[in-house]
Amino acid sequence: MDLLRHLRYFVTVAEERHFGRAAERLHMAQPPLSQQIRRLEAEVGVELFVRTTRRVDLTAAGSAYLARARAILAEVDDAADEARRVAAGAVGHLAIGCVGSATYSLLPALSRRLAEELPGIDFAFRGEMLVADQVEALRTGAIDLALLRPPVDDAALAVTVLREERLVVAVPVGHRLAARKQVRVADLATADLIVHSAGRRSAMYDVVRGLFAEAGVTPRIRHEVGETSTLVTLVAGGLGVAVVPEPVGALTLDGVAYRPLVRPARSVELAVAHRAERTEPHLHRTLAVLQDLIRVSG
For 138-175, the pLDDT digits (tens) are: 999 999 999 999 989 899 999 999 999 999 999 999 99
Whole-number percent of the chain with pLDDT over 90: 66
- Find the mean pLDDT for residues 112-119: 93
Residue 272: the pLDDT is 96
Residue 200: predicted pLDDT: 66
Q: Do 165 and 247 touch, CB atoms closer than 8 A? A: yes
- Alpha carbons within 13 angstroms on the beta-carbon side of residue 122 total 2
Render pLDDT for 67-109 as a digit per residue (tens, 0 to 9). Answer: 999 999 999 888 888 888 777 777 889 999 999 888 888 999 9
Tell me the per-residue pLDDT of 171-196, one tens digit each, with 9 for 90 and over.
Answer: 999 999 999 999 999 999 999 999 98
Instruction: Please tell me the least confidently modeled range out of 2-16, 199-213, 276-290.
Output: 199-213
Q: Is the peptide bond before 108 cis (omega within 30 degrees of 0)?
A: no
pLDDT greater than 80 at residue 298: no
Region 196-202: mean pLDDT is 76
Whether 266 has a pLDDT exceeding 80, the answer reads no
Cα gap 96→138, rounded to integer Å: 10
What is the spatial distance between Cα 96 and Cα 247, in angstroms, rounded to a whole number?
18
**296/200: higher pLDDT:** 296
The pLDDT > 70 percentage for the chain reads 98
Spatial CA neighbour of 151 closest among 207, 215, 200: 207
For position 52, what pLDDT does the model report? 81
Q: What is the pLDDT of residue 60?
A: 93
Longest dimension (CA), the chain: 104
In this prediction, residues 194-204 reach a mean pLDDT of 81
**Packing angle, helices 2-16 and 30-44, rounded to 10:** 110
Average pLDDT, the chain: 90
Amino acid residing at 149: R
Q: Each residue of 122-138: pLDDT tens digit?
A: 999 998 888 889 999 99
Average pLDDT over residues 30-54: 90
**Exposure class string for 192-210: b at 16+ Cβ within 10 A, else e:** bbbbbbeeeebbbbebbee
pLDDT at 77: 87
Cα angle value 244/185/265 (rounded, 5°): 70
Pick the closest to residue 281 from 3, 87, 95, 20 (CA basis).
87
pLDDT for residue 93: 92
Is 22's pLDDT higher than 80?
yes
Report the pLDDT value the prediction gives residue 145, as an integer from 0 to 100.
96
Backbone angles phi, psi at 255, to 5 degrees: 95, 0
